[in-house]
Amino acid sequence: MKLRLGCLVVAACAALFLGGCSTVQTRISEHPDLYQSLSASDQALVTQGQIRTGMSTNSVWLAWGAPDQKGVGQNGRRPVETWIYYGTTDAYPGFGPGFYGGFGGYGGFGYLHRGGYYHRRFYYDPFYDPFFYNRLSIVRYPERFVSFENVRVVAYNFLPPPRYY
C-alpha cells in the first residue's frame, strides 16, 4: 500500500514538473484546429519545429512555443512585432565540471606537449567541490528572433551562443 502511494506521489510530482514543459507535439494535440488550418507544407515544418517566411503567428507559436519576450517597432510606417526566444549556454566552457574533459570538475585527462609528442596525463584538483562549481557559469542569451508584419513572418534569425575567453 505504501509503495503504491509513493508511486502516486512521484507520478503526481513528475506530472506537475513536466506539465510546464511545452513541446511541439503537446501544442499540436492541445490545439488541433490551429494545426489543421495550416497548409500541408507548413504542417510538416511545424511538426519539425521549423518556420519559414510568410508563416502566421499561430504557426510560429505551434512550432516554437510562446516567446520569452516580445518587442514592438516600426519598419518604415509599418508596425513590426518581434518575438525573442532565449537559450542557455555554459559561459566558461573551460572551467567548472569537466575542465580537462574529465568526469566531475578539474579531474580528467589532458594532453601535454613535450618534445614534439603529446603525452596523456591525468589532472586532478583536490579542492574541487561540485556544489560550488555546479552551474555557476550557465547564462541565458537571446537565441532566436522572429519578426512579424501583419501577423506574417518577415524575418527570423538564429544567434550562436556567446563566446567567452
Longest dimension (CA), the chain: 68
Which pLDDT value is given to residue 90?
Answer: 74
pLDDT per residue rounded down to tens, the chain (165 residues): 554 544 444 444 444 444 456 899 999 999 999 999 999 999 999 999 999 999 999 999 999 999 999 999 999 999 999 999 999 887 655 544 444 443 444 444 444 444 444 444 444 555 555 555 555 567 889 999 999 999 999 999 999 888 765
The full set of domain ranges for the chain reads 96-134
Which pLDDT value is given to residue 154?
Answer: 96
Which pLDDT value is given to residue 136?
Answer: 56
**What is this structure's pTM?**
0.63
End-to-end CA distance of the chain: 56
Decide if 135 contacts 65 (C-beta within 8 A): no
Decide if 91 contacts 164 (C-beta within 8 A): yes
What distance lies between CA 64 and its chain's CA centroid?
11
- Residues paired with residue 144 on neighbouring β-strands, in sequence order: 85, 158
